Amino acid sequence: MKNKIILILLTAASPAMFTGCATDAHYVQTGDKEQIVSLGQINIQDYANAANAAVKELLESGALDKVANPPALLELSRIVNNTSQQVDTDLLTKKISIALLQSGKAQTKTVDTKAIGYQQEKEFLSDQKSTRLPDFTLSGKIIETVDRAGSTRRTTYSFQLSLNDPKAGVQVWEGEKEIGKQGTRSSVGF
């Protein structure tokens, strides 16, 4: 009788145990509670946090408001990747340019070859230069630093951004966001 009860309990417990281990695929929202904290790499949440901090500081500074013909014209320059991984810096710069465009404070110069071609054609036909020089350029650097103590590893990513005035040749705003992650291995959940 006792053995029967134990067998029933074990049978009931085993599916629960297995379902606890496996996770069915499901859609997630960026930055939700279940986000994966990856130790050795920059993830989408890190880009979002860095972009959020940059946009906040940039809008707060009022640097973009100091132009003769608002909204300011911004050209995205080079983001230097000084990390051990290959990154697509558009994950950072695109978020910033979208947010600035939505704010109405800046427009970015197009990089679309078709649009540039039409503009050049228009300039050629009208024999007039209509290209507006950018008011600002946005450049930056992503730096990775790793510290170890036994099996614990701490990776810090520094996102450094500069808003440059090409006419005056000066930096009118600079911002830095550090994102640090520490642990022995990557985990699920913030």
Partner 1 sequence: MKVARYYFLALAAATFALAGCTTVNTVENAQKEGQRTMITDQRVITDASLNRKVAIVGLNRATTPGGLLKIQVEVENHTRSLQRFLYRVEWFDASGMQVNNVISAAIPEQIEGKESKFISSIAPHPGCRDFRIKFIEAD
Q: Is 169 left (phi over 0), alpha (psi -120 to 50) or beta?
A: left
Q: Which of 26, 33, 114, 129 binds partner 1 (CB under 8 A)?
A: 33
- Chain length of the chain: 190
Contact between 31 and partner 1 (CB under 8 A)?
Answer: yes
Q: Which of 14, 84, 102, 184 binds partner 1 (CB under 8 A)?
A: 102
Contact between 171 and partner 1 (CB under 8 A)?
Answer: no
CA–CA dist 68, 63 (Å, integer): 12
Q: Do residues 130 and 158 touch, judged by C-beta distance below 8 A?
A: no
Q: Do residues 100 and 140 touch, judged by C-beta distance below 8 A?
A: no
Q: Which of 14, 19, 103, 119 binds partner 1 (CB under 8 A)?
A: 103
Q: Do residues 173 and 163 touch, judged by C-beta distance below 8 A?
A: yes
Interactions with partner 1, residue window 129-158 (CB under 8 A): none
Spell out, one character per residue from 56 to 75, where the chain touches partner 1: x when CB under 8 A holds, - when not. Answer: x--xx-x-xx----------
* Span from 8-16, 19-27, 48-56, 137-145 in contact with partner 1 (CB under 8 A): 48-56
Of 119 and 152, CB closest to partner 1: 152
Q: Choose among 126, 139, 163: nearest CA to 118.
A: 126
CB of residue 59 to partner 1, shortest distance in Å: 5
Q: Which of 38, 52, 81, 107 binds partner 1 (CB under 8 A)?
A: 52
CB count in 10 Å sphere of residue 133: 9
Interactions with partner 1, residue window 105-124 (CB under 8 A): 105
CA–CA dist 52, 126 (Å, integer): 42
Q: For 24, how many CA atoms within 13 A lie in the half-sphere containing its CB? A: 2
CB of residue 44 to partner 1, shortest distance in Å: 8
Of 20 and 169, CB closest to partner 1: 20
CA–CA dist 68, 135 (Å, integer): 9
Residues in contact with partner 1 by CB under 8 A are 30-33, 45, 48-49, 51-52, 55-56, 59-60, 62, 64-65, 95, 98-99, 102-105, 189-190
